[in-house]
Structure 1
Amino acid sequence: MTVPTAIAVTSADLVLPPADPQTPHATVLQPPGARSLDASLADVQQLLARHGHVIVVCPTSAPPAVAQRLRAVRGLLESDRIALVTTDLPPLGAAVLVRQLRQLAVCDFSAGVLASAARLLAHYIYAGAVLGSVSRLDRVPVSLSSHLKGWLPGAHFGVLAGPTPQIVRVGGKNEQLLAGPEFATRLLVARGQLQTDWPATALAPAWRIQGAAQEVALPGTSPAWWGTGKLVEFVAYLSDLPVLYQLVASVRRETCHWCGMELIGDRCGFCAASPSPTPASGAGAATGAGAVP
């Protein structure tokens, strides 16, 4: 099977098992400490020769040297066929985003639409974790009272990093649930050192999750991202390719005035330029928000 656009990642943690036999693999680009610059150039050149365009997904939490290497490779190759897509999602959520892009790579979307679709898809990924402490959590807004409760022995917290940050106390008579998606999703769970089934027993029924929760290995970067190893990470996401296709296809496409690539939303996935304002540009096109499935 020939895939026109290659999906590459900066860590093996971002590669989940394929959703179906048609889901292509993602190429893992080795970090600067494990790969010389010349070798990295050769790796990307090979991808370009084989696929035509390359979309590299790099979490904003990755070490600065990783992003610097990617920019250096793109600059030295002088190629406008390499898209560097960053994401603020936590590790498991970022891996789900990568798998969705892999699923969509076999569709008839251009490389430009696929790259700019990453920001749209992230709005429909509910990524969070159950934490044994929030005292070192600095990537999600945490109130002072929650910080103080985080020092109490046995305290557990349900935290949602996106699309809207939330934090609730788990357990006890006054337990609250995180506000979840209003559309059908599936649940992915990765267990750390915390012993709890809260995502499957409490969250899944409240969020009307389809089917049983699927368990995967905890990404190696998750403890650092969440500030503790005592966690269970979870993600509610759209899993069916027809739904993902409809979501992306529902957004009006434009041509980037700077690099000429197709795009959806408010930013080109290849050169990061915003589309030229036109009278026809509506709120949906400006925000990149499609219809909720």
Structure 2
Amino acid sequence: MTRADLVLPPTDQQTPTAVALKAPDEQPLEDALAETQVLQEQFGYVVVVYPATLDTAFVRRLHTVRAILESDRIALIESELPPLGLAVLVRQLRQLSVCDFSAGVVAASARLLAHYIHAGALLNSVARLDHVPVSLKSHAKSWVPGSQFGVVAGSHPQLVKIGGEDRLAGPDYATHLTVARGQLQSDWVTGTLAPAWGVRGVHETALPEDSGRWWGTQKLIEFAAHLSDISVIHQLVSSVRRERCHWCGMELIGDRCCFCAAPLARENQNRAAGVPTGRTPNASPP
């Protein structure tokens, strides 16, 4: 990870923690190289998940470290998820890391699992929201005192005004809801959204530092509905066909190796088309 506040508490005693890498202005290149080398020697492989909004200099540092070490055991994975959703994704990968999956499959699972995270926020304004399409009408409503908006980011973004007839569409499978409160006072997320989405548990955590910037306001409550039971997550990942990278030999799911970035061999691409191909998780753990 690239921030310590994105490392959520483990869900059980088996879930390992994560290492938060330091930004270039906090750590010399020599120290970053030494730290990464120690991680490789200790764990065998290093999977780095970072937000698409990460500072360019930090992204460049990550690629520089990988290039200097000439390592094919470091995977750099960019994610479009908002901060809390990204933290949830990282915790799921931590859960998978102690299962019977290879490092290549664990890294490639990031793309699959991201599709099953409904990440959003309750906002007092969408005037500065850049990551989700906002209509002129919604912009105008955000200037009305007391207005609040429910937003879901991702491949199918949603935005509704709280108190109107529209509702946020939620997952059609069992999830838990992780909630992080900012400077907005409201019980809408836990009192209205959670029952509407049929979540099986609500867990509160601290708001990530970058959440206000990502959502365009500090007056928010961020949330993420996600799979929590490791048996269900394991079943989902196991349901996807595994391939072997023709370049570095790593096992993978999807259409690209996360360690060497090589695309799936042409003869196998048709079988991997339409990723994510995992079956919709069962409503109850198997």
Q: Is structure 2 residue 187 aligned with structure 1 residue 187?
A: no
Residue of 2, 8, 20 corresponding to 1:10: 2
1:285 offset after TM fit, Å?
5.0
Q: Is structure 2 residue 254 aligned with structure 1 residue 265?
A: yes
Gap regions ≥5 residues in structure 2: 282-286
Q: Is structure 2 residue 125 aligned with structure 1 residue 133?
A: yes
Q: Is structure 2 residue 276 aligned with structure 1 residue 291?
A: no
Q: Which residue of 1 aligns with 2:116?
A: 124
SS of residue paired to 1:84: strand
Cα pair 2:115 2:276 within 8 Å, conserved: no
Cα pair 2:255 2:269 within 8 Å, conserved: no
| Aligned counterparts of 1:186 and 1:258: Cα–Cα separation in 2 | 38
SS of residue paired to 2:266: coil
| Aligned counterparts of 1:243 and 1:188: Cα–Cα separation in 2 | 17
> What are the Cα deviations for residues 40-59 of structure 1, in whole angstroms up to 9, with x where unaligned?
00000000011111000111
Cα pair 1:192 1:231 within 8 Å, conserved: yes
4+ residue runs of structure 1 moved beyond 6 angstroms?
none
1:264 offset after TM fit, Å?
0.3
Q: Which residue of 1 aligns with 2:159?
A: 167
Q: Which has the higher strand share?
A: 1
CA RMSD in angstroms, aligned pairs only: 1.2
1:279 offset after TM fit, Å?
6.5
Letter in 1 for 2:59: A
Q: Which residue of 1 aligns with 2:284?
A: none
Given the two structures, how large is their TM-score scaled by the length of structure 2?
A: 0.95
1:268 offset after TM fit, Å?
1.2
Q: Percent identity?
A: 60
Q: Which residue of 1 aligns with 2:58?
A: 66
> What are the Cα deviations for residues 241-263 of structure 1, in whole angstroms up to 9, with x where unaligned?
00000100110000112222111
| Aligned counterparts of 1:47 and 1:10: Cα–Cα separation in 2 | 15
| Aligned counterparts of 2:274 and 2:165: Cα–Cα separation in 1 | 38
Given the two structures, how large is their TM-score scaled by the length of structure 1?
A: 0.93
> What are the Cα deviations for residues 156-179 of structure 1, in whole angstroms up to 9, with x where unaligned?
0000002410000012xx342201
Residue of 215, 221, 233 corresponding to 1:232: 221
Cα pair 1:124 1:163 within 8 Å, conserved: no
111-120 vs 144-153, which moves further: 144-153
* Count of paired positions: 281
Aligned residue runs from structure 1 range 239-254, under 5 A = 239-254=228-243
1:277 offset after TM fit, Å?
2.6
Cα pair 1:125 1:235 within 8 Å, conserved: yes
Gap regions ≥5 residues in structure 1: 1-8
Q: Which residue of 2 aligns with 1:207?
A: 197
> What are the Cα deviations for residues 42-87 of structure 1, in whole angstroms up to 9, with x where unaligned?
0000000111110001111111111110000000000000000110
Residue of 200, 212, 227 corresponding to 1:223: 212
Q: Which residue of 2 aligns with 1:176?
A: 166
Letter in 2 for 1:190: A
Cα pair 1:13 1:91 within 8 Å, conserved: no
Q: Which residue of 1 aligns with 2:72?
A: 80
| Aligned counterparts of 2:196 and 2:96: Cα–Cα separation in 1 | 29
| Aligned counterparts of 1:207 and 1:200: Cα–Cα separation in 2 | 10
